[in-house]
Structure 1
Amino acid sequence: MSDNNKNKDYNLEERTAKFGENIIKFCKSIKDNTETKPIKNQLIKSGTSVGANYCEANNASSKRDFRNKIFISKKEAQETKFWLRMSAAVVPEKADEARILWQEAHELTLIFQKICDSVDGKNK
């Protein structure tokens, strides 16, 4: 986890890509067993989907399509938080790493919610 609060990349496409890469690295560092394998699979799916849907949003065919893809990115970030919590429960020695990734997923969730609010005209 090379990112820290002082050096965050504020290019959201790059940030979500790095997040997905960090999720993959995290999952690769956890040994497979009957408990971890399904959690790792779900974590990789949701964690990499955040950036994939953001890239799709940037090529949306309409404002509605853009908003829907951003909302999906938010949902995937939220799901990733859940799977990170489960991974920390199953592999307690990875809890600190999971917490760092959870914080990034949380920040991305808030960013995507703000974008949705802005598109919906709820900017405050």
Structure 2
Amino acid sequence: MEKQKVYNLEERTYLFAKECRLLVRSIPKTLSNIEDGKQLIRASGSVGANYIEANEKLGDKDFLMRLKISRKEAKEAQYWLRLLGDLNGASKAEIDELTQEALELRNILSSILKKQNSSKTKQ
């Protein structure tokens, strides 16, 4: 059953972080899963936290920097999800969904950055 997409980006990044945490809870507690899971939890939470910070910007440079960090963290989350997916076949479908969501978040953040940069060049 496919989940309905959320279009509020703050909420969507929150749900991504939440789903990553639920995934980490569900996989076997091997040393590599624990360490990779910690990294995934940090990166997935940072996507939303930095996006929220961007929305409370101190200026245009701060806004752009926070968006870039958020995008970078989404890419990092993809890395940790890939490792976890390769080592936890039973959770592969769930991990693939989260990997796709991380990619979509990166694409959305990239689009926002491009729009901001293009509006800057027009001024």
- Identify the TM-score tier after normalising by the shorter chain: over 0.9
Does 2:92 align with 1:95?
A: yes
- Structure 1 gap ranges (5+): none
Q: State TM-score, norm by structure 2.
A: 0.92
Q: State TM-score, norm by structure 1.
A: 0.92
Q: Aligned partners of 1:45, 1:30: CA distance in 2, in Å?
A: 17
Q: Aligned partners of 1:71, 1:35: CA distance in 2, in Å?
A: 28
Q: Aligned partners of 2:32, 2:101: CA distance in 1, in Å?
A: 24
In structure 2, the residue corresponding to 1:80 is in which secondary structure? helix
* Structure 1 residues 81-124: Cα deviation after superposition (integer angstroms, max 9, x where no partner): 1100000111111111100000000000000001111111179x
CA shift for structure 1 position 30: 1.1
Question: Over aligned residues, Cα RMSD in angstroms?
Answer: 1.6
In structure 1, the residue corresponding to 2:31 is in which secondary structure? coil
Q: Percent identity?
A: 36
Greater helix share, structure number: 2
Matched residues, number:
120
CA shift for structure 1 position 31: 2.0
Bigger drift between 30-39 and 73-82 goes to 30-39
In structure 2, the residue corresponding to 1:31 is in which secondary structure? coil
